[in-house]
Each structure stands twice: as C-alpha cells, then as structure tokens.
Structure 1
C-alpha cells in the first residue's frame, strides 16, 4: 500500500477552507496518512506554494515527527503535542504554521502538502535553516513521499 496523505478538512485538489489561511484563523489543517513503509523511523511534512510571484514559497515545515504517528490534529502547534514537534522557519520568517496569503488578483495558487517517510529518527538542523534546507536534507533519507494538493485564491 503506497503512502497516502489526506485531510478531513478538504479533498485533494480542492480549495482550502478560509480558517486555514492567513485571511482566516491561520490554523494548520488536520492531516492523516496511511501506508507508512517498513523501516520508517520518522516523518517530515512541508507545505509549499510554487505559484508565488517570487518563486516557490514555503509555509510550514514539521520534522522529527515520530514514525508511529499517523495524524496531525487541527492547529497541532497549539495542542498537547506542541513540545514534541520541531518546526522549521518558513518564508514569512516565522517558526510556526502560516497558511495561504497569495497576492490579491493573482489567481489561484496551489499548496502542496508533502509528507515523507524517512529512514532516520531525526534530522539535525536548526529551525533557522529553513524549509528548503529541511526538504533537501530529508531527501537524503526519504523512503517514500505522499502529496496532498489544496488551492486558494484571494
């Protein structure tokens, strides 16, 4: 069974509900995955927007997610698991989830939620390294990847 990523808040390819954007409550959406491959020791998740005017824009990076987890609750960074999460700096300059906020009138943007199962229990990077560096490092240890697409337009 392949690694699969879904959200109970939106279907693959659908518009993200406003509460998960910077126009709304800026909460991270709930996520669930299945099909974690044998040998997985941790999981990493990033969200990126390849349609940003300046090039790919990174919104969120979570890493060192325990291999036995299969969900992230809505607004996981404010919940009881907050202390167990490592968050990478995003392109807004924050070390927390920041949802979509594309330029007004720029058309629909695509937000790729990318989940990777890794063969290492942790990635040793400072949060300030950023999401692009995190994803590059994760690529060296990736067993499998799943993608979920959300869209948003202002």
Structure 2
C-alpha cells in the first residue's frame, strides 16, 4: 500500500527550503503521513543523502513515534528523548537529532526522508546510529513510504 509521507514546505522532488539546511537555522521540516497499518505499534523516520561524496550520509534518525501521531512539527529539538517516548539517534554529523542538507559547494544532492510503520517499538538507545537502527528495523516493518527533496549550494 505505501505510506504517503508529505511536508507543508516542499513536495516530492522539490527544493528543500533553506531554513531546513546548514545555510540557515538548520531545523527539521514539518512532516505528516497517512495510510497507517492497523496493527502498527510505532513509526520511525530516517533521512539520508545518497549523493554524499563519502557514501550515504545520515541526517536524522527518529523512532518510537506512537501510532496515533500522524505528523511532526517543524523544528524538533535536537535532544535524545522527546515527549511520548519518541527517541532520536545520532546523525553522521555526530550529534543527536536533525542535521539538515549541507552539500559541498557547487553540488545538488537528494535528501530522502523514509518513514517506517513498525509492529514493535525499538529497543534502542538515544546514541543509536544508522547501522544499529537498520538492523533493528529488520523484519518489523509493516509498511513504508518516502519523500525526496533536493538541495544545492
């Protein structure tokens, strides 16, 4: 079926607004979704740049989003634990929370936000990195979706 992941500030294939990048205040964009599988126990979101010079770069890991939550507002705080048991992992910049697009000068990259509906909550700590997060998803994904934006400098 697929989860429809959307943002009020950019659509699929559009430019991500500068305020959500390292060239401005570097805050997370608002996200919302639909198509919740009936037996989902949580959501998780991963944002990555597959065009990064050193390989896929992780910009955001956020998980244990309760199944009744259908959106994340903009400017989620960069702290380990949020309300309702929501937890954030470590991005490839080396800190917890969202780190926005920051491609090298003269390059335009794709930024893929992926949402996963899970049949469990993830037993992971706030220091979680992409590899551990990906292993934990393993066979627990009921459905997923994505939203891709671009940003260049």
With the shorter chain as reference, the TM-score category is over 0.9
What is the TM-score of this pair, normalised by structure 1?
0.92
What is the TM-score of this pair, normalised by structure 2?
0.92
After TM superposition, list the pairs within 5 Å mapping 1:23-42 onto structure 2. 23-42=23-42
Question: Are the equivalent residues in 1 in contact too, given 2:40–2:118 (CA < 8 A)?
Answer: yes
1:109 deviates by 0.4
Does residue 64 of the first structure (1) align with residue 64 of the second (2)?
yes
Residue of structure 1 in register with 2:145 after alignment: 146
Q: CA RMSD of the aligned region, Å?
A: 1.5
User: How far apart, CA to CA, are the structure 1 residues paired with 2:102 and 2:131?
Assistant: 19
Does residue 114 of the first structure (1) align with residue 114 of the second (2)?
yes
List runs of 5+ in structure 1 lacking aligned partners. none
Residue of structure 2 in register with 1:92 after alignment: 93
User: How far apart, CA to CA, are the structure 2 residues paired with 1:29 and 1:48?
Assistant: 14
1:38 deviates by 1.4
Count, aligned residues: 150
Residue of structure 1 in register with 2:50 after alignment: 50
Residue of structure 1 in register with 2:124 after alignment: 125
User: How far apart, CA to CA, are the structure 1 residues paired with 2:30 and 2:138?
Assistant: 24
Question: Are the equivalent residues in 2 in contact too, given 1:58–1:132 (CA < 8 A)?
Answer: no
1:129 deviates by 3.0
List runs of 5+ in structure 2 lacking aligned partners. none
Question: Are the equivalent residues in 1 in contact too, given 2:3–2:146 (CA < 8 A)?
Answer: no
Question: Are the equivalent residues in 2 in contact too, given 1:114–1:145 (CA < 8 A)?
Answer: yes
